[in-house]
């Protein structure tokens, strides 16, 4: 089902006309209300009047995470605090948190966009949604919550954590949909199994997973463990929160971007040059309807590619591929660029090991080292009375990583369930290097 048929299926030409009208307004507004933008535009020698076509956006400067940090906490807000009805913040692994604000209209827009996502997942008011995204400063919980209510579905605001209780509620209430991070979905499946619950027999039909990178292999893993259809949802606090883009049930290949609210570009992260649609690069978003916290050309550091081909669901909004990594979490191991998600993809393709892993990067004698710690399955562990079985497995993983990624990794197999589990985003890399 398409939640907002009119806007989600706008012919391209009409959509672009709408985008241009909205973009002109936002560029004007930030220039006259946010000191940072006035200075940035002046410095780049551009004025709002210079924006006559969508293509002119290229002439405007980027906004980066650093700009947000420097204007912490409220310096980039475009409305007075009396118009702000909600604040969220993203923790950020390094440095200060990023704080974002919403007017009532922003919350209404966000709720509608999340309702569109749920509808794209085939949900209606007759569904019950188990929302295990964290409630609080993180945008996941409340973002999904308001969208589910807008759709008219019954929402269980379970938030993150307390996994045993979550499993009881999944059994007793019988929700038809679940929202959480993909790593938590696997965690739930695993703990449920350990409790003796048949996790495939729950009523869950569909899962809306995002907030961290995952792979097609992980999708299959979750689908088989929970017997549901797993869909990808993307978003970031700076741009709005979850719901910036979402996969549809019909296509299941790439996430439709809410292009009537956000403009997207892909750029070469090193040069800033705008790439043609379809090429892999860093995603850059401009919000064109946000009131409280509009952003012009925000560099997400997320690496993906746009899919301009039409989708069979009938939505005209372009799709983006799953996030392949971040231009800033990329590891350089002895000169080779490696994304943790690529290592994960290798690992989950190997039978006998679990998708729980840790990467420990170090520098010893001036040489980068990477150790991959990965859990073996219960079956393999109990059959591994011969050390040889485990040794062979280690060798196999070392070879696969070498073959696929071109790096020499040390592999350490660890006991089932011995690595840390995550209730929100998984943090799988420990980079101990001092450079
Ligand atoms: O993670 C918002 C969100 C909540 C999205 C729930 C989806 C579901 P932040 O905490 O600001 O916001 O983190 C944003 O998370 O720049 C990506 O690097 C990553 N990310 C989000 N969704 C995906 C996804 C929320 N589907 C950052 N695949 C983004 C891969 C994702 N990475």
Q: What DSSP string runs through 6-25?
A: HHHT--HHHHHHHHHHHHHH
Give the distance (Å) from ligand 1 centre to CA of residue 245: 10
Q: Find out whether 172 and 164 touch, Cβ atoms under 8 Å.
A: no
CA distances from 104 to 29, 46, 101, 109, 406 (A): 18, 31, 10, 9, 51
What pLDDT score was predicted for residue 329? 72
Q: What DSSP string runs through 109-178?
A: HHHHHHHHHHHHTT--TT-EEEE-SPPSSSHHHHHHHHHHHHHT-EEE---S--HHHHHHHHHHH--SEE
| Residue 345: closest CA among 217, 230, 212, 181 | 217
What pLDDT score was predicted for residue 340? 86
And the tokens for 257? 């971007």
Q: Is the CB of 181 under 6 A from ligand 1?
A: no
For 66, the enclosing helix (H) or strand (E) is: helix 65-70
Q: Is the CB of 233 under 6 A from ligand 1?
A: yes
Give the distance (Å) from ligand 1 centre to CA of residue 388: 41
Residues in the chain, total: 435
| Number of CB atoms found within 10 A of residue 157's CB | 16
Give the distance (Å) from ligand 1 centre to CA of residue 135: 15
Q: Is the CB of 325 under 6 A from ligand 1?
A: no
What pLDDT score was predicted for residue 91? 60
Sign of CA dihedral 11, 250, 152, 102: negative
What pLDDT score was predicted for residue 92? 40
Q: Which of 100, 177, 210 to mutate to test the pocket of ligand 1 (most atoms within 8 A of CB)?
A: 210
* DSSP 8-state class, residue 428: -
For tokens 């992260």, the residue is 269
pLDDT beneath 70, residues of the chain: 91-97, 330, 335, 337, 366, 384-385, 435
Give the distance (Å) from ligand 1 centre to CA of residue 306: 17
Identify any residues that bridge with 101 across adjacent strands, giving them in sequence order: 87
Q: Find out whether 212 and 234 touch, Cβ atoms under 8 Å.
A: no
Task: Tell me which residue has its CA closest to atom 30 in ligand 1.
Answer: 213
What pLDDT score was predicted for residue 384? 63
What pLDDT score was predicted for residue 381? 84
In the predicted model, what is the mean pLDDT of the chain?
93
Q: Is the CB of 323 under 6 A from ligand 1?
A: yes
Which positions ≥6 away from 221 have C-beta within 8 Å? 186, 348, 355
Q: Find out whether 369 and 407 touch, Cβ atoms under 8 Å.
A: no
- E strands, 136-291, are 154-156, 177-180, 206-210, 229-236, 241-247, 255-257, 262-267, 281-287
Q: Find out whether 319 and 253 touch, Cβ atoms under 8 Å.
A: yes
SS3 98: strand
């Amino acid at each position: 089902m398409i939640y907002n048929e009119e806007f989600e299926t706008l012919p391209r030409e009409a959509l672009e006309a709408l985008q241009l009208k909205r973009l002109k307004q936002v560029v004007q507004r930030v220039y006259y209300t946010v000191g940072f933008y006035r200075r940035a535009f002046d410095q780049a020698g551009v004025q709002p009047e210079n924006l006559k076509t969508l293509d002119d956006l290229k002439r405007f400067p980027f906004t980066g995470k650093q700009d947000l940090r420097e204007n912490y906490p409220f310096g980039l807000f475009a409305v007075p605090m009396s118009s702000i009805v909600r604040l969220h913040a993203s923790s950020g692994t390094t440095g200060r948190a990023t704080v974002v604000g919403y007017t009532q209209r922003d919350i209404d827009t966000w709720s509608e966009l999340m309702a569109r996502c749920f509808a794209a997942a085939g949900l209606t008011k007759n569904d019950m949604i188990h929302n295990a995204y964290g409630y609080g400063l993180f945008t996941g919980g409340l973002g999904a919550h308001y969208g589910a209510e807008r759709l008219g579905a019954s929402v269980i605001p379970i938030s993150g954590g307390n996994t045993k209780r979550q499993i009881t509620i999944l059994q007793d209430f019988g929700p038809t949909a679940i929202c959480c991070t993909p790593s938590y979905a696997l965690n739930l499946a695993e703990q449920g199994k350990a409790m003796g619950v048949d996790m495939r027999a729950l009523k869950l039909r569909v899962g809306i997973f995002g907030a961290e990178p995952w792979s097609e292999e992980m999708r299959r893993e979750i689908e088989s463990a929970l017997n549901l259809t797993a869909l990808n949802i993307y978003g970031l606090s700076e741009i709005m929160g979850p719901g910036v883009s979402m996969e549809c049930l019909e296509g299941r290949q790439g996430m439709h971007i809410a292009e009537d609210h956000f403009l997207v570009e892909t750029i070469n992260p090193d040069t800033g040059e705008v790439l043609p649609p379809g090429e892999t690069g860093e995603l850059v978003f401009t919000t064109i309807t946000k009131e409280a916290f509009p952003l012009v050309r925000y560099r997400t550091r997320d690496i993906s590619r746009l899919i301009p081909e039409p989708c069979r669901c009938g939505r005209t909004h372009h799709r983006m591929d799953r996030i392949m990594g971040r231009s800033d979490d990329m590891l350089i191991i002895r000169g080779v660029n490696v994304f943790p998600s690529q290592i994960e993809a290798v690992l989950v393709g190997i039978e006998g090991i679990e998708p729980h892993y840790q990467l420990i990067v170090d520098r010893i004698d001036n040489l980068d080292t990477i150790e991959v710690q990965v859990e073996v399955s219960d079956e393999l562990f109990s059959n591994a009375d011969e050390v040889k079985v485990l040794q062979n497995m280690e060798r196999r993983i070392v070879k696969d990583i070498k073959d696929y990624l071109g790096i020499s990794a040390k592999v350490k197999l660890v006991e089932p369930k011995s690595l840390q589990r995550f209730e929100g985003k998984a943090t799988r890399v420990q980079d101990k290097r001092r450079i």
